[in-house]
Chain A
Amino acid sequence: MTVGTLDTFPKLLMHHAQLRGARPAIREKDLGIWQTWTWKRFADEVRALACGLHADGLRRGGHVALVSDNRPRLYAAMCAIQCLGGIPVPLYQDAVAEEMVFPIQNAEITLAFAEDQEQVDKLLEILPRCPTLARIYYDDPRGLRQYQQPQLRSYDELLKAGSEALARNPGFVDAEIDQGSGSDVAGMFFTSGTTAAPKGVVHTHASLLGPARTAAEMERLGEADVILAYLPPAWIGQNIFSCAQAFVTGYCICCPEAPETLMNDMREIGPTYYFAPPRVLEALLTQVSIRMDDAAAPKRWLYRKFMGIANRVGGALLDGKPVGFLDRVAYAIGDLLVYGPLRNVLGMSRVRIGYTAGEAIGPDLFKFYRSIGINLKQLYGSTETAVFVCIQPDGEVRADTVGPAVKGVELRFSPQRELLIRSEGLFREYYKNPEATRAAKDAEGWFHTGDAGFFDAGGHVKIIDRVKDVGKLADGTLFAPKYLENKLKFFPYIKETVCFGHARDQVCAFINIDPDAIGNWAEKRNMPYSGYTDLASRDEVYDLVRECVERVNADLAAEPEIANSQIHRFLILHKELDADDGELTRTRKVRRGFIGEKYDALVSALYSGQTSVHVEAQVRYEDGRTGTFSADLKIRDAKTFAPGAATRAA
C-alpha cells in the first residue's frame, strides 16, 4: 500500500472504491434484511454528499455536528465532510439537549446531521442558544412532516442536490480531496467531562490513521474481517474501529437494525473483530449465568463439568502453551458440547480478535471468555491517544495488565506513578482551550494520562486506578477504590459500587444491586417485589450482598498490601446510579467525587456507626412520574478477616 499518498480518510475511501469496489464496505439491517453498500457505492454517496455540503456553504475548517446511531449514512456524512476539509464532530446520541449546547457553541457549528425526530427535536430546542446553527439534515423523515423550521432539510434532498451538482462538475470532489493532507484536522471528539465542561479533543488524519494502521498490521487485519458497529459514534473507539481501521484495511462494518436487536444481529453477522467494554462482557456473562441457572439439571451438570475443564486448560490452549493429551481430548469434547454452542449464542463463533478496555476487567470474567476459546485481549488508550497505546500480543495475555506499548509509542511513569505517553496518535490540542492542552501535554510532548500504574516484570503496563483517586487510609496503607469496586462488581448480583476510605480508618461501600440478577433470584424464592427500590431494601437481599462483600474481604486479606482495605460497612442505595443524574459518565464510569458529595449524609452515616439512615430524594418512577422517596436505608456490617490468616468465607 502506498501509505505516503493515502494520508487522509477520503483518499483511502477512493482508493478502496478503486481497488475493491465490489466488496462490502458497510452493511445495515433494514426491514429485516441485511443491505450492503459496496466500497464503490460508499464512495459515490460520499462524493454526492460532499457536493451538497459545499453548496450549503461548508468550507475547509468548518465544523459539522453529527447526532446519530451507527448508520451507513452517518459514516458517509462524516467522510463527505472530511472530503471538503471540514471537521466532523460526532455527539453522543443519548445526550440530553442541554449537553449539546456546549459543543455546538464551542465549535461554532453551522451544519448538523440528525438521525431522526428525537435528535431534531433536541437540536431545535437549543437552537435559540446556538445561533450559528443554520442547517439540520435529518435522515428519517418520520414525524417531521409538519415541521416548518427553515433550518430543516432532509438527507435525501441534500443527496439529490449534491448528485446534480456533481453531474455538472464531476471532478470537483476529487480535486477537493487532493487538497487534503494528513496534518489536517480529521475529527473532534468531546470528552465526557467528568468534572468540568467537556473538552473538544482535536485529531488529525495522521493521528487517527497512524495508530489504526499500526494496530491493524500487528493483528493482521484484512479486507475479510467484519466488525459490528454498536457503540456510540461519538466515542473515539467506535471511530477507530468502524472508520479508521476499516479505511486502512478495507474490512466491512455492520450496523445493527436497532439497539435492542444487537445480540441477534451479532449472531447473524458473526464478527471476526470485536470490541466490548468490560461492562458489556459482564452483562453477557450475567445473562448466560441466569439462563444456566434456569436450565434443566443435566444441562447444568454438563455446563459445570466442562466449564471446570475450560477454566483449567482453555486459556493455556489459546496461549499455545503445552497441555496434556487427556486434557486436550476433554477440551475438544467440551468444545463440541458446550463452548462451541455457547460462543455461537454469544455471536462470537468467528471472533478472531476481541478487545476489551475502558476499565479494569475482573480476572474471572476475563478468564471465562478466554477459556471458551474467544481470543479476548486487553488494550489501553484514551480519546487523546487515538485508542491504541498498549495491546496485549497473542500469547502474552493476562488479566491484570494491559500489555506492552504498541510499536511507535513511548511510555514512562512520573514519580507519582502517573503514566506518560508520547506517540504519533496524540491529539493536537483541546479545541480553544490552550490552558488545558498545556496541562495535559507538556513541552516535550508527553501526554499526562492521569492513570496510575507501573511496569510489571514482563514489561507490561499495569494500571491500578486514576492518579487522583488513589488514596491512603488513615494508617497510611494504599487505598485504590477502583480495585475494590471491580472485585465487588464481579458478583452477578452487584451492578455498581462506590467505595470510600481515603483518609478514613476503614473502608465502607455503597452498593447498587443488579435488578435482573437479583430479580431472578427473588422470583425463584417466590419473593414478590415492586421494583428496584423495594428489592434494594429487603433483608434477604442485604444478606446476599453481605456474603459477596465478605468473600471479597477474604480475598483481600490474602493480599498483604491491601488487606487493610477490607470493607467494614455497606449500604444498598435506594436508586440505580444513572448518567442522567450525573452519577455516571456517558461511558458509564462512576463519578466517585460527585456521588460522595451528593450522598454526603449517607457517607457520614456509614462512618458514624448508625444502623440506618434516613434518605429523602426525588425519584423518577418507571411510568415517568416523579415523586419524593423517603425511607430508612439499612446499613450493615460485614465480617473482616485477619490479614494473612485468610479463610475463605462460605
Chain B
Amino acid sequence: MILSVENVSLAFGGVRALQDVSFDVGEHEIRAIIGPNGAGKSSMLNVLNGVYHPQKGTIRFKEKIFKDMDSHEAAALGIARTFQNIALFKGMSVLDNIMTGRNLKMRCNFLQQALWVGPAKREEMEHRRAVEEIIDFLEIQHIRRTPVGRLPYGLQKRVELGRALAAEPKMLLLDEPMAGMNLEEKQDMCRFVLDVNDEFGTTIVLIEHDMGVVMDISDRVVVLDYGRKIADGTPDQVRNDQKVIDAYLGVTH
C-alpha cells in the first residue's frame, strides 16, 4: 500500500466534512473517490496533499506518517495534483506552465539561473527535455508556444495534467479531471489517465462525478456521503451496493 488513510475526521467549526474515513491506495492503482455534492470528496483530496490538516486520524504515505504536513512538503514527497477549476498561469505558454511543474527539481540558485552559466544551462536543458517528453506524451506539440488563456477548456485540462506530471509524482491526485468536458474530450482524458498509469506507473487518486468514467477506468472505488465512507470496493461491487444506490438516487425514509 502506497497510501493508507485511517479514521480521518475533518471539521470546519461545526461542519463535519469528513467523519472517521479509512481507506487505502495500492501501488500503481487507479483509485476513485465518488459521492454526491458535498460528500467531502474535495476535502479528502485536500487532506491528502496537505492543504487541510485533519483533527483526527493518521495518513501514511509510503510508510511515513503524514502529520500536519504542508502542501509543498507533500509535493516534495511525490504527491502532485490538478484542480477542479483550472489553476494555470493564463498568460504563460503551455511550455512555461509545464516547466513550473519542474520547480521542485531545480537545484541551481537564482544567480546561476539569471546568469545562465554552466550548471544552470545544463539543468535547464534537462528540464526542457522532460517537459518536451510530457508534451509529446499528451500530444500537445501544436500548442507548445500558445498562451494557455487562448486554449479551449479541454486542452487547458490536459496542460494542467502535464504540469502535474512534470513533477514526476509517485501519486497523482486529480480533482474532477473530466468535469465540463464533452464526450470526445472525456475519452481523450481517460486514455491519458490510463496511459499515465501504465507508462509511468503513477498511482492515481481521482475524484469524479461522471459515474461512467469512474467505473470504466478505476481499479477500486471509495464512496463518500455526508463525510462518511459508505462503500469501498471494485466498481462492480460499488455499483450494486444498496447504500450507494440510495445515496445517488435518493431514498424515502
Using a CB–CB distance below 8 Å, which chain A residues touch chain B?
30-33, 142-143, 145-146, 257-258, 260-261, 264, 622-625
Evaluate contact between A143 and B142: CB separation under 8 angstroms.
no
Query: B229: shortest Cβ distance to chain A, in Å?
Result: 30
Evaluate whether A623 and B129 lie within 8 angstroms (CB atoms) in the complex, with A258-B141, A261-B141 already known: no
Query: A626: shortest Cβ distance to chain B, in Å?
Result: 11
Note all chain A residues with C-beta closer than 8 A to B194: 143
Task: Tell me if B132 is interfacial: C-beta within 8 Å of chain A.
Answer: yes
- Complex CA distance for A375 and B137, rounded to whole angstroms: 38
Note all chain A residues with C-beta closer than 8 A to B142: 258, 260-261, 264
Select from chain A the residue with minimum beta-carbon distance to B132.
Answer: A31
Evaluate contact between B182 and A32: CB separation under 8 angstroms.
no
Query: A384: shortest Cβ distance to chain B, in Å?
Result: 36
Query: A23: shortest Cβ distance to chain B, in Å?
Result: 26
Evaluate contact between B184 and A624: CB separation under 8 angstroms.
yes
Interface string of B117-154 (1 = CB under 8 A from A): 00000000000110011011101011010000000000
- Complex CA distance for A260 and B155, rounded to whole angstroms: 14
Listed A/B pairs (8) with beta-carbon separation below 8 Å? A33-B132, A143-B195, A143-B198, A145-B199, A258-B142, A260-B142, A623-B184, A624-B184
Query: B220: shortest Cβ distance to chain A, in Å?
Result: 18
Evaluate contact between A622 and B182: CB separation under 8 angstroms.
yes
Task: Tell me if B183 is interfacial: C-beta within 8 Å of chain A.
Answer: yes
Task: Tell me if B187 is interfacial: C-beta within 8 Å of chain A.
Answer: yes
- Complex CA distance for A330 and B128, rounded to whole angstroms: 46
Evaluate whether A622 and B141 lie within 8 angstroms (CB atoms) in the complex, with A31-B132, A31-B136 already known: no
Evaluate whether A624 and B198 lie within 8 angstroms (CB atoms) in the complex, with A31-B129, A257-B141, A258-B139 already known: no
Evaluate contact between B135 and A32: CB separation under 8 angstroms.
yes
Query: B216: shortest Cβ distance to chain A, in Å?
Result: 15
Note all chain A residues with C-beta closer than 8 A to B129: 31
Evaluate contact between B183 and A624: CB separation under 8 angstroms.
yes
Task: Identify 13 new A-B residue pairs, CB closer than 8 A, beyond the known A143-B199, A264-B142, A623-B183.
Answer: A31-B132, A31-B136, A32-B128, A32-B144, A142-B195, A142-B199, A143-B194, A145-B198, A146-B198, A258-B141, A261-B142, A623-B184, A624-B183
Note all chain B residues with C-beta closer than 8 A to A143: 191, 194-195, 198-199
Note all chain A residues with C-beta closer than 8 A to B132: 31-33
Query: B191: shortest Cβ distance to chain A, in Å?
Result: 8
Note all chain B residues with C-beta closer than 8 A to A260: 141-142
Q: Main secondary structure on chain A at its contact with chain B?
A: loop
Within 8 A of A (CB), among B164-194: 182-184, 187, 191, 194
Total chain B interface residues with beta-carbon distance under 8 A: 20
Query: A259: shortest Cβ distance to chain B, in Å?
Result: 9
Select from chain A the residue with minimum beta-carbon distance to B129.
Answer: A31
- Complex CA distance for A624 and B186, rounded to whole angstroms: 11
Query: A619: shortest Cβ distance to chain B, in Å?
Result: 15
- Complex CA distance for A142 and B133, rounded to whole angstroms: 12
Evaluate contact between A31 and B133: CB separation under 8 angstroms.
yes
Note all chain B residues with C-beta closer than 8 A to A33: 132
- Complex CA distance for A260 and B135, rounded to whole angstroms: 13
Select from chain B the residue with minimum beta-carbon distance to A143.
Answer: B195
- Complex CA distance for A412 and B182, rounded to whole angstroms: 56
Evaluate contact between A624 and B187: CB separation under 8 angstroms.
yes
Query: B98: shortest Cβ distance to chain A, in Å?
Result: 12
- Complex CA distance for A257 and B141, rounded to whole angstroms: 8
- Complex CA distance for A511 and B133, rounded to whole angstroms: 44
Query: A621: shortest Cβ distance to chain B, in Å?
Result: 9
Note all chain A residues with C-beta closer than 8 A to B198: 143, 145-146
Evaluate contact between A32 and B141: CB separation under 8 angstroms.
yes
- Complex CA distance for A258 and B187, rounded to whole angstroms: 20
Note all chain B residues with C-beta closer than 8 A to A32: 128, 132, 135, 141, 144
Within 8 A of A (CB), among B185-242: 187, 191, 194-195, 198-199
Select from chain B the residue with minimum beta-carbon distance to A264.
Answer: B142
Note all chain B residues with C-beta closer than 8 A to A145: 198-199
Note all chain B residues with C-beta closer than 8 A to A146: 198
Note all chain A residues with C-beta closer than 8 A to B139: 258
Note all chain A residues with C-beta closer than 8 A to B191: 143
Note all chain A residues with C-beta closer than 8 A to B133: 31
For A625, give its contact among B135, B137, B183, B195 (CB under 8 Å): B183
- Complex CA distance for A145 and B28, rounded to whole angstroms: 14
Note all chain B residues with C-beta closer than 8 A to A264: 142
Instruction: Give the top 8 A-B pairs by smallest Cβ distance, nearest first.
Output: A260-B142, A31-B132, A623-B182, A623-B183, A32-B132, A624-B183, A261-B142, A258-B141
Note all chain A residues with C-beta closer than 8 A to B199: 142-143, 145
Query: A441: shortest Cβ distance to chain B, in Å?
Result: 44
Note all chain B residues with C-beta closer than 8 A to A261: 141-142
Select from chain A the residue with minimum beta-carbon distance to B134.
Answer: A31
Most central of A145, A264, A623 by chain B CB within 10 Å: A623
- Complex CA distance for A31 and B191, rounded to whole angstroms: 21
- Complex CA distance for A498 and B133, rounded to whole angstroms: 45
- Complex CA distance for A30 and B187, rounded to whole angstroms: 26
Select from chain A the residue with minimum beta-carbon distance to B139.
Answer: A258
Interface string of B83-94 (1 = CB under 8 A from A): 000000000000
Note all chain B residues with C-beta closer than 8 A to A31: 129, 132-133, 135-136
Note all chain B residues with C-beta closer than 8 A to A257: 141
Note all chain A residues with C-beta closer than 8 A to B144: 32
- Complex CA distance for A261 and B136, rounded to whole angstroms: 12
- Complex CA distance for A258 and B194, rounded to whole angstroms: 22
Note all chain A residues with C-beta closer than 8 A to B183: 623-625
Note all chain A residues with C-beta closer than 8 A to B137: 142
Select from chain A the residue with minimum beta-carbon distance to B95.
Answer: A32
Query: B105: shortest Cβ distance to chain A, in Å?
Result: 18
Select from chain B the residue with minimum beta-carbon distance to A141.
Answer: B199
Query: A639: shortest Cβ distance to chain B, in Å?
Result: 41
Note all chain B residues with C-beta closer than 8 A to A142: 137, 195, 199
Note all chain B residues with C-beta closer than 8 A to A624: 183-184, 187
Most central of A30, A32, A260 by chain B CB within 10 Å: A32
- Complex CA distance for A143 and B191, rounded to whole angstroms: 9
- Complex CA distance for A623 and B198, rounded to whole angstroms: 26
- Complex CA distance for A439 and B66, rounded to whole angstroms: 79
Note all chain A residues with C-beta closer than 8 A to B128: 32
Query: B251: shortest Cβ distance to chain A, in Å?
Result: 31
- Complex CA distance for A260 and B142, rounded to whole angstroms: 6
Note all chain A residues with C-beta closer than 8 A to B187: 624
Note all chain A residues with C-beta closer than 8 A to B141: 32, 257-258, 260-261
Select from chain A the residue with minimum beta-carbon distance to B195.
Answer: A143
- Complex CA distance for A261 and B94, rounded to whole angstroms: 15
Query: B38: shortest Cβ distance to chain A, in Å?
Result: 28
Select from chain A the residue with minimum beta-carbon distance to B183.
Answer: A623
Query: A438: shortest Cβ distance to chain B, in Å?
Result: 47
Note all chain A residues with C-beta closer than 8 A to B135: 31-32
- Complex CA distance for A30 and B132, rounded to whole angstroms: 9
- Complex CA distance for A375 and B142, rounded to whole angstroms: 28
Within 8 A of A (CB), among B42-71: none
Note all chain A residues with C-beta closer than 8 A to B195: 142-143
- Complex CA distance for A31 and B140, rounded to whole angstroms: 11
Query: A646: shortest Cβ distance to chain B, in Å?
Result: 46
Query: B150: shortest Cβ distance to chain A, in Å?
Result: 15
Note all chain B residues with C-beta closer than 8 A to A623: 182-184
Query: B177: shortest Cβ distance to chain A, in Å?
Result: 17
Query: B187: shortest Cβ distance to chain A, in Å?
Result: 7
Select from chain B the residue with minimum beta-carbon distance to A262.
Answer: B142
- Complex CA distance for A625 and B186, rounded to whole angstroms: 13
Query: A142: shortest Cβ distance to chain B, in Å?
Result: 6
